[in-house]
Amino acid sequence: MADIRPADDIDFARFYGGVRVTGQWIGRALWRRRLLAGFGCVIETAEGEWMAFLEVPAEARKPFIFRHILKVMVEVKKRGAHTIKATCDTSIPRAEALMTKLGFKPTDETLDGKAIWKWGS
């Protein structure tokens, strides 16, 4: 069974190979026993603009993840987000449906060959 809990700087560095975030961010870590198995976060890139990331193993892509995504979106909106961007990997089943359900819309932008979707203004 997976355990999802608020992430801290150590979780971020552990998951992303030592990367340190200096700005404002909110995240969740997916743990399996003592293994950090997945990670999701939203990082402020400019005032009011945030970039979201979600990396969850295929076997953990279950409906309960959606509730955690919604909680993070509520938190980031309280911190003043007016725009949230995220890439959408269309090779993942139902990824586009998830983005649509969250209120994101596709843009003409890409990042690392993946379409960027945008929520907000």
Q: What is the pTM of this model?
A: 0.89
Using the structure block, give the residue that is written with the tokens 């399996």.
32
pLDDT at 1 over 70: no
Residue pLDDT, tens place only, 5-41: 999 999 999 999 988 888 899 999 999 988 999 999 9
Q: What is the distance between the alpha carbons of residues 29 and 43, in angstroms, rounded to a whole number? A: 14
Determine the residue type at 45.
T
Question: If you write DSSP's letter for every residue of 36-87 in order, what string do you get?
Answer: EEEEEEEEEEETTEEEEEEE--GGG--THHHHHHHHHHHHHHHTT-SEEEEE
Domain 3-120 bears CATH identifier 3.40.630.30:
yes
What mean pLDDT do residues 56-73 have? 90
Give CA angle at 54 (49, 58), nearest 5°: 165
Express each pLDDT in 69-81 by its tens digit.
Answer: 999 999 999 999 9
